[in-house]
Structure 1
Amino acid sequence: MTDTPEIAAELRRRLAHAHAPYSGVQVAAAVESEDGRVTYGVNVENAAYPLGQCAEASAIGAAVTEGPTRLTRVYVASSLPGLVWPCGGCRQKIFELAAEGCEVVSLGADGEVGRQTIEQLLPLGFRLEPRAGRRV
């Protein structure tokens, strides 16, 4: 398990890299894979709003680029006060790559930490059953 204060500090540092000229909300995320790799991402907004990319999606894309990925933990921090959680689309992305019980950790600017499993955040998510290729 990665050290939460270390990840929190790194996410705070990376918030400055977010490209958020439209919303003004900077988000940084990190995903931890079963093999212990941690990859990072930030949100990248676009004038064609739906074409932007969430920080979680950026981090997941970086993890997948490195090789086979099974997520064990996802961290999210933002420039907003309080805790933030992944949007619905990112919850589904996480769910599809998550090991059972994958923890999603929201890191507040004031040091507050919230934890939920991806199954709690997306109780009826779907994924392909690995062996049969069926949706479950």
Structure 2
Amino acid sequence: MEIDCKELILKAFQGRENAYAPYSGFKVGAAVLTEDGNIYTGCNIENASYGATNCAERTAIFKAVSEGHENVKAIAIVGEKNKYTYPCGICRQVMAEFALPDIKIILAKNEREYIVKTLDEILPGAFTKKDLL
């Protein structure tokens, strides 16, 4: 299955529209593509108790997992237009849990400008399920 980066980026921007960020004003959107071709979007959701805040990447991944899709093939992440937004450490760890070995992490400034990273590039030496065996 081919990954349509532009489609995922557009979906991530659509997800960003629903961001609830009254405290930081920093809105993020994400879209995940599962192994079987489903796409799930997510946005960041802040809370007055900052520890209860959830990132866009985890929202999208958790939506996929809650629908029975545990193998993420790609994820697009968008923040402010014309800036790359990288995932936080917790989101990188969640990606490590549910990512297929060749996951594509798409960081987009806009619909035309994006870079694609691997999980090893953004989370070298990740602690994974294999470490528990």
One fold, TM greater than 0.5? yes
Match of 1:135 in 2: 132
Superposition pairs for residues 52-131 of structure 1, below 5 Å?
Answer: 52-109=53-110, 111-129=112-130
Per-residue Cα deviation, 1:30-53 (whole angstroms, up to 9, x for no partner): 111111111111000001112100
What stretches of structure 1 of length at least 5 have no aligned partner?
Answer: none
Q: Deviations over 1:64-101 (max 9, x none)?
A: 01104111111101125311111000000001111112
Q: Following the alignment from structure 1 to structure 2, what is the Cα–Cα distance between the partners of residues 112 and 75?
A: 12
For the residues of structure 1 that align with 2:19 and 2:106, how far apart are their CA atoms?
19
Assess if the C-alpha contact under 8 Å between 1:25 and 1:80 holds in 2: no
Question: Which of these two proteins has the greater Rg computed from alpha carbons?
Answer: 1
Alignment coverage as a number of residue pairs: 132
- So what's the TM-score if we normalise by structure 2? 0.91
Mapped pair 1:35 → 2:4: no
Structure 2: runs of 5+ lacking an equivalent: none
- Higher RCO structure, 1 or 2 (CA under 8 Å, sep 6+): 2
Distance 2:69 2:11 in 1: 24
C-alpha separation in 2, matches of 1:25 and 1:73? 23
Q: Match for 1:117: what amino acid? A: T
The one-letter code of the counterpart of 2:74 is R
- Partners of 2:18 and 2:128 in 1: how far apart? 32
Q: Does residue 21 of the first structure (1) align with residue 22 of the second (2)?
A: yes
Q: 1:135: Cα distance to partner? A: 1.9
SS of residue in 1 equivalent to 2:51: helix
Q: Secondary structure at the match of 1:17?
A: coil
Q: CA deviation at 1:110?
A: 6.7
